[in-house]
Structure 1
Amino acid sequence: MTEGDPMADEAQSTTGDGAETDTAPPAEPELSYEEAREELDGVVRRLESGGLTLKESLALWERGEQLARTCEQWLEGARAKLAVALEENTPQNNGGNDHSTPF
């Protein structure tokens, strides 16, 4: 383990006998779509404003990629639910009752 490296500290744990084992850092609580989108918007604004070091820019870019993946997962889930709902409401799947006609 590297001293002074917080990432190395987080990625190590000890077993009952005191031996160190590699483990993944604890997962961040899942953000809602709106939370992820709002944070992503802030990341983009900070990157566009400039004045950051290369290290800061790369860290923000990586965070932005994570947030974009989170948003995409939410959108994919919504698309899948919508597809199922639309499929269930087609005339051949609801006994021929076309509820899209008002009368």
Structure 2
Amino acid sequence: MAEQKKVEELTYKEASQELERIIRSLESGDMELEESLESYTRGVELLKSLRGRLSEAEQRVSILLQDVDGTDTLVPADAASTDDKLSF
């Protein structure tokens, strides 16, 4: 595999796009075993990072609702699952 940025240096979008490329490559079945294992490992790292970032964002984001009298009420959102399973 070509030289890669560290997962934590990637933006959410970059990490997401790289994970999509890895999934497509793995699904194609055209890679050698060693390359498949490397790609799978990288994919798991990316997935963990993406889920962690999403969970952090969801914890910070609150849904703004309009009360009957016009006052704003903040309602905390549910956190995303941080399940580490990568499925194709």
Q: In angstroms, what is the RMSD of aligned CA positions? A: 2.7
Deviation at 1:86? Answer: 4.0
CA distance in 2, matches of 1:57, 1:90: 50
CA distance in 2, matches of 1:97, 1:47: 52
Q: Which runs of 5+ in 2 are unaligned?
A: 74-88
Residue 71 of structure 2 corresponds to 98
- Tell me the residue number matched to 1:54: 33
The answer to whether structure 1 residue 42 and structure 2 residue 21 are counterparts is: yes
Segments of 4+ moved more than 4 angstroms: none
77 and 90 in structure 1: CA distance in 2 versus 1, 3 angstrom threshold: farther
TM-score (norm 2): 0.62
Higher strand share: 2
Which protein shows a greater Rg? 1
Aligned AA (2:23): V
TM-superposed CA distance for 1:38, in Å, is: 0.3
Identity, % of aligned positions: 31
Greater relative contact order (Cα 8 A, min sep 6): structure 1 or 2? Answer: 2
Cα deviation, residue 77, structure 1: 0.9
Aligned length: 67
